A and B are shown apart, each in its own frame.
Chain A
Amino acid sequence: MKQKGPRLGEPASLWRMRIVPIASVMFASALPLMLPLIANSPVLPPLGLLFFLCWQLLRAEMWPVWIGLPLGLWDDLFSGAPIGTAMGLWTVASIAVAYSSQRIYWRGFFHDWAIAALLVAIIQSLAALITHPHAATGRVLGLVVPQIIISALLVPLFMRLTGKFDNFRLKRR
């Protein structure tokens, strides 16, 4: 007997539940290098990092804390920063997110926004400083300030996008 539609209580596909978050972060990391855009300064927000943080803020226990290592390595390959930068910084960020979800009992929308914006600011600044160790600190930080502001303003959008992906991830067949 062939059934139409989902069976009652049937869980979502395990494969899709695991793949969707990782694939979204990996695609977002690789996307800037696939656009025909020759940038004269860091103009695009760090798409991969924003998705990475939003997934962790939305689903605190979906990933183990070391997930930043493989995803960060992937991002480093495409971002142009020295390899290892995002590996280290993203992992520290996921430890920070895990810690914040322990400390703040009822985390709301504005908490999430503030945490994501703060982490993006810290990670982008440190990454720029690691990339250019010999340049003047003030100038290097000045380069990433516009990008940090854009990223902070875009966090709610990425939260919504992550939510959409999450609905798809958990959708029953």
Chain B
Amino acid sequence: MVRPAHRRPGQSRKAQYSLFVAYVIAVTGAVAGLLLAILSVVDPIGFAQLRVASQEIAAPVARASRSVIGSISGIDDTVGAYVAAGTQNRRLRKELADTRRELVATSSLQEENRQLKALLKLQETDKTALANGHLLTSTSTSSKRIALLSIGRNLGVAAGQPVRGADGLIGRVLGAGPSVSQVLLLTDVDNVVPVRRARDGLPALASGRGNGDLDVRTLNIANNPFKPGDILVTSGTGGLYPPNIPVAIVVRRQDDGALARPLADPGKVDAVSVLRPYTPDNIEAQGLPGPATPPAAPAGAP
């Protein structure tokens, strides 16, 4: 590229001034921007409303693209079904016969299960969700792991509520807009979850690595008790996350703890539930209908 001609705009005072003013604006603006960034790291809640507006813009497109891509894979399936119709038919008939036999066995097991659960009086109330939705999209260009949830304040979602999928914990609500809300995923670097080992209740802290895995550290540094295959569930310590939600499975040991993989992959989970935060007044009011009191928004680690 040729060197631009107008870098030194000749004798024209007007051109010289306008170039100078542009630089002044740029430098002050850059400094102000970086100060703003530091400020919004310190106080993320103050700027959440600004971001909500942009997400309300992006959400309809994300909904549309989600449905379009879903239908594209549907077309795939339809074509494949025509090609394999004959063999599929035979296979399905065989499966149907097997399933009928299994169904009879299962129904008796189900009844037995129901009776046993009634005996144990399992707390089903804490599993009731405040609202259900699905994850629309997520930030994929920055190191922050935030996903967009398809429901917002219209269904009672508020900041600080835990979010789980069928397989396990997904994260917590960072901020709620009118019709979408943002979820800080479990794997974000700044998300710390108090967990315990399901087998023996060994308490630990799980923090995101930012690349889809979790770091697990015990509170007791002296020994490293983790083994690959250990299941970690939320402990309920410190509020926010209700106890006994599956979180992660230990993949391998590390020098200072273990590397774990989340049990619920937010990329594959279809529907997620927003739960009531595990705060003292919510625990007392469990089972009672009515809106949960909006908790103080957690800053950083819960």
Contact = CB atoms under 8 A, between A and B. Distances in A.
Contacts of B2: 106
Given A39-B145, A84-B40, A78 B65 contact: no
Given A83-B37, A139-B209, A106 B3 contact: yes
A146 to B, nearest CB: 9
B189 A140 contact: yes
Contacts of B40: 82-84
Interface string A120-152: 000000011011111100011001100100000
Interface string A55-69: 001101100111011
Nearest to B211: A41
Contacts of B7: 101-102
Interface string B138-155: 111111111110000000
Contact of A84 (B3, B33, B137, B143): B33
B174 to A, nearest CB: 10
A37 interface: yes
Interface stretch (A4-12, A44-52, A163-171): A44-52
Contacts of B55: 33
A94 B33 CA distance: 14
Interface residues of A, number: 66
B35 interface: yes
B81 to A, nearest CB: 24
Interface in B30-78: 30-41, 44, 47, 50-51, 53-55, 57-58, 61-62, 65-66, 69
Nearest to A47: B141
A30 B65 CA distance: 14
B86 interface: no
A123 to B, nearest CB: 11
Contacts of A81: 37, 142-144
Contacts of B189: 132, 135, 139-140, 143
Interface string B214-235: 0000000000000000000000
Contact of B142 (A60, A101, A127): A127
Contacts, number: 220
A34 interface: yes
A69 B41 contact: no
B141 A88 contact: no
Interface SS, A side: helix
Nearest to B70: A36
B140 A37 contact: yes
B141 A42 contact: yes
A36 B212 contact: no
Interface centre among B27, B35, B143 (most CB of A within 10 A): B143
Interface of A: 30, 32-48, 57-58, 60-61, 64-66, 68-69, 72-73, 77-89, 91-92, 94-95, 101-102, 105-108, 112, 127-128, 130-135, 139-140, 143-144, 147
5 contacts: A30-B54, A37-B140, A46-B142, A81-B143, A95-B30
Interface of B: 1-4, 6-7, 22-23, 25-27, 29-41, 44, 47, 50-51, 53-55, 57-58, 61-62, 65-66, 69, 135-148, 185, 187, 189-190, 209-212, 265-267, 300
